[in-house]
Chain A
Amino acid sequence: DQQVKQNSPSLSVQEGRISILNCDYTNSMFDYFLWYKKYPAEGPTFLISISSIKDKNEDGRFTVFLNKSAKHLSLHIVPSQPGDSAVYFCAAGGGTGTASKLTFGTGTRLQVTL
C-alpha cells in the first residue's frame, strides 16, 4: 500500500519557467512533509519542509504548498535552472510532528532544458 504517491515519474521544464512537482498521501496521521533532491550516485539532500499547521513554506526559489483536505502537497521551483535537474522525493513524517519516521514517494525525475 503506497501511502505517499508521486504519480508523475518524470517532468521536463524549460530553463526559467516554473517546475511543479506533486505528491499525494493517504495516511491522515502524516503531519510533517519534506522534499528531498537526489543526484545520481549521491544520497538524497534536504530541500524544504512543511508542518501540517501551515499551508505554505518558502525558501528562495523553492515553495511547498500543503492542502490537508485534499491530502496533497506540491513543490514549486521558480525560476527553474539546469542544476535543478535531479530526482525529487516527497516524504511524510508519521504522527510525531517531525521528520523522525519518514515514508517516501517513488520520486519524480525533473529535467530542466536550456
Chain B
Amino acid sequence: EAGVAQSPRYKIIEKRQSVAFWCNPISGHATLYWYQQILGQGPKLLIQFQNNGVVDDSQLPKDRFSAERLKGVDSTLKIQPAKLEDSAVYLCASSLFIGGAVKQQFFGPGTRLTVL
C-alpha cells in the first residue's frame, strides 16, 4: 500500500514570495490533515479535512495560509506572502475510520520550507 505522498520535499523562497505544497493521501482515507512543525517543536495542526469539507481550521493563519482539497483526494496548502517565521516542515497526514474510530494518522515525509 502506497503511503502519503508530498511534494516538493524541500523549498527555499524569499520572504513575501508565495509557495504551494501538494499532498496525496493514502487511497481511501477520507480525513486529511496539514501540520506545521517548527524546529524543536511538535507538529501543530493547521487544518483538517473530511472528504472535501473543512472540519477544523482554527489554527490556520487565514490571512496568509489557504488550503483546499478538491474532489476529496489531493490537497494543496498555500502560503502567500511568506514570512520568516513560516520556516518549518509541513507535514500532511491522512486517516481512516475503522469501526467508527480513527486509530492512527499516517504521515507523509514532509516538505521542509526555508524562508530567507
Residue ranges of A at the interface with B (Cβ–Cβ < 8 Å): 4, 34, 36, 41-46, 49, 89, 91, 93, 96-107
A residues near B41, Cβ cutoff 8 Å = 106-107
A residues near B110, Cβ cutoff 8 Å = 42-43
Contact check, A104 vs B43: say whether CB atoms are below 8 A apart. Answer: yes
Contact check, A44 vs B43: say whether CB atoms are below 8 A apart. Answer: yes
Contact check, A104 vs B102: say whether CB atoms are below 8 A apart. Answer: no
Contact check, B107 vs A100: say whether CB atoms are below 8 A apart. Answer: no
Contact check, B48 vs A99: say whether CB atoms are below 8 A apart. Answer: no
Contact check, A106 vs B102: say whether CB atoms are below 8 A apart. Answer: no
Distance in Å from the Cβ of B96 to the closest Cβ of chain A? 10
The 9 closest A-B pairs by CB, nearest first: A104-B42, A43-B107, A98-B102, A46-B104, A98-B101, A100-B102, A99-B102, A44-B107, A104-B43
Q: Which has the most chain B C-beta neighbours within 10 Å: A91, A102, A105?
A: A102
B residues near A34, Cβ cutoff 8 Å = 104
Q: Of B101, B102, B107, which is within 8 A of A45 by CB?
A: B107
Contact check, A100 vs B95: say whether CB atoms are below 8 A apart. Answer: yes
11 chain-A/chain-B pairs, Cβ below 8 angstroms: A4-B42, A34-B104, A36-B107, A42-B109, A43-B4, A43-B109, A43-B110, A89-B42, A91-B42, A99-B104, A107-B41
Q: Of B31, B40, B95, B101, which is within 8 A of A106 by CB?
A: B40
Q: Any chain A CB within 8 A of the CB of B44?
A: yes
B residues near A42, Cβ cutoff 8 Å = 109-110
- How far is B95's CA from A98's CA once the two chains are assembled, in angstroms? 11
A residues near B71, Cβ cutoff 8 Å = none
- How far is B108's CA from A22's CA once the two chains are assembled, in angstroms? 25
Q: Any chain A CB within 8 A of the CB of B106?
A: yes
